[in-house]
């Protein structure tokens, strides 16, 4: 058969040559050729839509045929614009009764292949075939390139700087080009054309012009991978990197742990005379690196993370996800670091918000809190200061604690008996009840609506503060963001998660009443404000 001016053997030779040149499989090239020959053949035959071609993988022989679908006898072709059956609706189809005249065993849904005579595609058709082949081969090449690099995401790649465009570095990484965006270059780095470079393969995306490969030298994982290359124990899985925090080009902290109690993870990463860590530092343009031993205990991990500062005390508030780190007075600047860098990196590494304070300021704060609480107990319960101090020492931090604790626990305090415990608890309950009555009057005078007062999770103290700030209805509160709530009540003692939960609870009636009612409620609120 004469197709596109090539002999059968020559087509196979061309397919082999293209496959080698483009580094793709021979079958992909032959599939592209089959598709292109079918496209060109349709131009010749015109009327037929379902023309297919096959190239014999051994002989190179090309076969053309049309595929006809067998449809039911009552099949109705689609209607045209005039509401009549479209004659073209039966192209490529044949009714079962007609098909069984030639193929008695055939059924609905099967296809009949009818061979077409050999044709010389001619110059125009040959050019069309060539364009289709080129496009298909290019698409296959791009797909292979995308898949090859997609599985390498997370690796360090080596390349050569090809050019620099507006601060972005274009890197030749073999059979593809990659880009290091300006923000992914370490501050102060200057690259020259043809200079060798290493970077972290961060992302690969599909684009019309081919896969886009993004590299980074600022990613925390770049440093982690560099340590993996320099420290055999990390590569072998004996030492595990638990976390990395970086300010690229300036300073970084890396947390490591060992699966073998006989191996020191920090010492292994430092290396003999610091050889291993210095190799990483050199690659990162002198970035200072603190290697921290990871611990499952948050307090121990925090102490390690704040190195080189010495931490004398750690107070963890899990509900607020905050940690107070107490350091000696002379170590405060070391713990915070230049422009807060040390505490910021430590916070990122451990995943907690860290407040650093000196022993002196912590002691002063504790004394102030003790005095304030002592005054509250003395006044509210009408007791002597010594008894108030005793309650605080035993861990009571509010009037509610005294009112709600079991009588036996209160009576078990040294110097107390059941009579004293009962009297204290009675006074605490009376105080809370009176406070509740007083708060209700204040809330009523402020115009705070009952729906807002009944919202679970808000104390009377919080409600009063909200009312004083103009938040008086359920919709007023529902419109608040967490940050706005924090501005009104910076010391509410309510965690971020709880604030979000209360706000969402306030918004629940919007979804019950529907969007129209919600919009109307907001509009009414806006008119009132105006």
Instruction: Give pLDDT tens digits for 188-223.
Output: 888 889 999 999 999 998 887 778 899 999 999 999
Domain annotation covers residue 389: no
d(CA 140, CA 97): 42
94 and 141 co-located in one domain: yes
Among 164, 197, 218, which residue terminates a domain?
218
Question: How many domains are there within the chain?
Answer: 3
Calculate ∠ Cα 480-459-489, nearest 5°.
Answer: 45
pTM: 0.60
Same domain, 114 and 168: no
What pLDDT shows up at residue 4? 40
As a dihedral over the C-alpha atoms of residue 165, residue 169, residue 170, residue 174, rounded to 10 degrees, the angle is: 160
Asked if residue 62 belongs to a domain, the reply is: yes
CATH number at residue 472: 1.10.150.20
Query: Which segments of 412-495 does DSSP mark as H helices, in order?
Result: 418-446, 450-453, 460-468, 474-478, 482-488
Chosen domain end from 218, 234, 269: 218
User: Is 91 part of a structural domain of the chain?
Assistant: yes
Angle at 272 between CA 266 and CA 275, to 5 degrees: 90
Determine, yes or no, domain membership for 309: no
Phi, psi (deg, nearest 5) at residue 54: -135, 140
State whether 58 and 77 are in the same domain.
Answer: yes
Return all residues near 456 (Cβ < 8 A) that are at least 6 apart.
502, 505
CATH code for the domain of 136: 3.30.1480.10
User: Are the C-beta atoms of 494 and 457 separated by less than 8 Å?
Assistant: yes
Residues 344 and 428: their CA atoms lie apart, in Å, by: 43
- Residues 28 and 93 both lie in one domain: yes
Which residues does 284 contact at the CB level (< 8 Å), separation at least 6? Answer: 186, 217, 223, 226, 248, 249, 252
Match 């990613």 to its residue by tokens.
219
Q: If you search the block for the tokens 């005078």, which residue do you land on?
A: 445
Please check whether residues 100 and 185 belong to one and the same domain.
no
Same domain (yes/no): 71, 87? yes
Whether residue 285 is contained in a domain is answered as: no
Determine, yes or no, domain membership for 139. Answer: yes
Q: 345: how many CB neighbours lie within 10 A of its CB?
A: 23
- Domain containing 501 equals 447-530
Domain boundary at 191, 218, 245, which? Answer: 218
Q: Measuring CA to CA, how many Å separate 492 from each of 80, 181, 395, 498?
A: 71, 44, 20, 11
Reading the chain (530 residues) residue by residue, the pLDDT tens digits are 334 444 456 777 777 877 777 777 788 778 877 877 787 777 777 655 678 888 888 887 788 888 888 888 888 777 666 655 555 566 778 888 888 888 888 888 888 888 877 666 555 555 665 676 677 777 777 888 888 888 889 899 999 999 998 889 999 988 788 999 999 999 888 888 999 999 999 999 888 777 889 999 999 999 999 999 999 999 899 999 999 999 998 999 999 999 988 999 999 999 898 999 999 999 998 899 999 999 998 889 999 999 888 888 888 887 778 888 888 888 888 889 888 899 999 999 998 888 888 888 888 888 888 888 888 888 888 888 888 888 888 888 788 888 888 888 888 887 788 888 888 888 888 888 888 788 788 878 888 888 887 788 777 778 888 888 888 888 888 888 888 888 887 776 677 778 888 888 888 877 765 544 554 555 454 444 44
Measured distance between the N- and C-terminal CA atoms of the chain, rounded to whole angstroms = 85
């Amino acid at each position: 058969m004469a197709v596109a001016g090539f002999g059968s053997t020559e087509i196979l030779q061309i397919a082999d040559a293209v496959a080698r040149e483009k580094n793709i499989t021979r079958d992909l090239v032959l599939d592209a050729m089959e598709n292109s020959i079918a496209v060109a053949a349709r131009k010749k035959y015109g009327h037929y839509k379902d023309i297919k071609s096959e190239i014999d993988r051994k002989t190179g022989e090309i076969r053309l045929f049309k595929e006809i679908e067998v449809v039911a006898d009552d099949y109705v072709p689609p209607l045209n614009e005039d509401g009549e059956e479209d004659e073209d609706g039966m192209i490529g189809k044949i009714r079962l009764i007609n098909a069984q005249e030639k193929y008695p065993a055939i059924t609905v849904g099967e296809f009949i292949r009818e061979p077409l005579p050999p044709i010389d595609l001619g110059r125009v058709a040959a050019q069309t075939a060539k364009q289709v082949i080129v496009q298909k081969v290019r698409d296959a090449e791009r797909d292979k390139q995308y898949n090859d690099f997609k599985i390498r995401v997370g690796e360090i790649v080596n390349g050569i700087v090809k050019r620099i465009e507006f601060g972005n570095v274009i890197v030749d990484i073999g059979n593809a080009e990659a880009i290091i965006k300006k923000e992914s270059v370490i501050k102060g780095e200057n690259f020259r054309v043809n200079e060798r470079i290493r970077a972290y393969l961060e992302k690969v995306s599909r684009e019309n012009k081919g896969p886009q490969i993004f590299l980074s030298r600022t990613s925390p994982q770049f440093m982690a991978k560099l340590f993996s290359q320099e420290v055999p124990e990390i590569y072998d899985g004996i030492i595990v990197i638990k976390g990395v925090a970086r300010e690229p080009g300036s300073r970084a902290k890396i947390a490591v742990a060992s699966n073998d109690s006989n191996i020191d993870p920090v010492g292994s990463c430092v290396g003999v005379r610091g050889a291993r860590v210095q190799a990483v530092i050199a690659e990162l343009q002198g970035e200072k690196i603190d290697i921290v031993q990871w611990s499952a205990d948050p307090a121990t991990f925090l102490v390690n993370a704040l190195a080189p500062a010495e931490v004398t005390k750690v107070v963890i508030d899990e509900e607020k996800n905050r940690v107070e780190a107490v350091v000696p007075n002379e170590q405060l600047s070391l713990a915070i670091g230049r422009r807060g860098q040390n505490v910021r990196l430590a916070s990122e590494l451990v995943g907690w918000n860290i407040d650093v304070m000196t022993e002196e300021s912590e002691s002063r704060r504790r004394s102030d809190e003790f005095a304030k609480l002592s005054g509250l107990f003395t006044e509210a319960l009408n007791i002597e200061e010594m008894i108030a101090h005793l309650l605080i020492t035993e861990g009571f931090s509010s009037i509610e604690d005294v009112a709600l604790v079991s009588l036996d626990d209160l009576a078990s305090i040294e110097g107390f008996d059941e009579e004293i415990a009962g009297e204290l608890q009675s006074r605490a309950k009376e105080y809370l009840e009176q406070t509740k009555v007083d708060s209700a009057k204040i809330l009523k005078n402020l115009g705070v609506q009952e729906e807002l007062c009944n919202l679970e999770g808000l104390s009377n103290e919080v409600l009063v503060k909200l009312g004083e700030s103009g938040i008086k209805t359920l919709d007023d509160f529902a419109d608040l963001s967490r940050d706005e709530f924090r501005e009104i009540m910076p010391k509410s003692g309510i965690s971020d998660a709880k604030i979000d939960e209360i706000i969402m609870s306030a918004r629940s009636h919007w979804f019950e009443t529907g969007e129209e009612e919600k919009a109307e409620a907001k509009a009414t609120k806006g008119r009132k404000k105006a």
